[in-house]
Chain A
């Protein structure tokens, strides 16, 4: 297994601002992902964070709104830009340790006022 951490664990932000969420894993992993979990809902994949190249976004998510960085094999950031109350969610990173097998970070609970 691996230790996956996220910062911050929670934040309350004003609309129109941006927040950057960090994900750190204690071993090198090839695949890292970012998910969104809206209150009381399931998990939706935002994008795959690719090391050394642009992230791969899922339908409905765009780079201008959710820019992602992946500078190395243990770290990634997700920025939620120009936030609105509809962006209030839990944002989770995950890493793939074995083929297809994903483990999640503790999540970042974001509230936008």
Chain B
């Protein structure tokens, strides 16, 4: 089945710097890759997603890139702000099991003012 690896597990940056979180997946049939942000005590919130027919997608300060050949995808946050501090999860879906999201272990991002 699908396996998703996520790195780093923790990331600390200064306000205004960029942050990059990387994920790799194992099932070449996977075709949908969402990113969720989870603040303490809150539900995971979908912040951006990408499908396998696209190499890059941007939404204001966040962007996601996908390399299908290497089976990895990354989240890029520019001009980080303290409110970006949260746990970020990547996921992969659409392989053997329709609709099943397989999540990475998460990255705790801390943005220091």
Interface size on B, as a range, is 20 to 34
What are the residues of chain A within 8 A of B100 when measuring CB–CB?
45, 48, 58
Docked complex Cα distance between A96 and B93 (Å): 12
Contact, CB under 8 Å: B89 / A43: yes
Number of A-B residue pairs with CB-CB distance less than 8 Å in the complex they form:
51
Interface residues of B in 27-80 (CB under 8 A from A): 32, 34, 36, 42-46, 49, 51
A107 to B93, CA, bound (A): 21
B residues at A contact (CB < 8 Å):
1, 32, 34, 36, 42-46, 49, 51, 89, 93-94, 99-106
Kindly state whether residue A53 has any CB partner on chain B within 8 Å. Answer: no
Q: Specify the chain A residue showing the minimal Cβ separation from B31.
A: A100
Q: Say how far A89's CB is from chain B's closest CB, in angstroms.
A: 14
Q: Is the interface of A mostly helix, strand, loop or mixed?
A: strand
CA distance A104 to B42 in the complex (A): 10
Interface string of A74-113 (1 = CB under 8 A from B): 0000000000000000001010100111111111000000
Q: Are B106 and A101 in contact (CB under 8 A)?
A: no
Please tell me the number of chain A residues within 8 Å of chain B, measured between CB atoms: 22
User: In the docked arrangement, what's the CA distance between A107 and B45, Å?
Assistant: 12
A107 and B94 form a contact (CB under 8 A): no
Cα distance A43–B100 in the bound complex, in angstroms: 12
12 pairs of residues in contact across A and B, judged by CB atoms under 8 Å: A33-B99, A33-B101, A42-B105, A43-B103, A44-B103, A45-B102, A100-B32, A101-B32, A102-B34, A102-B99, A104-B36, A105-B43
Which chain B residue has the least Cβ–Cβ distance from A94?
B101
**Interface flag for A31 (CB, 8 Å):** yes
A4 to chain B, nearest CB (A): 8
- Residue from B43, B49, B89, B101 within 8 A of A106 (CB atoms): B43
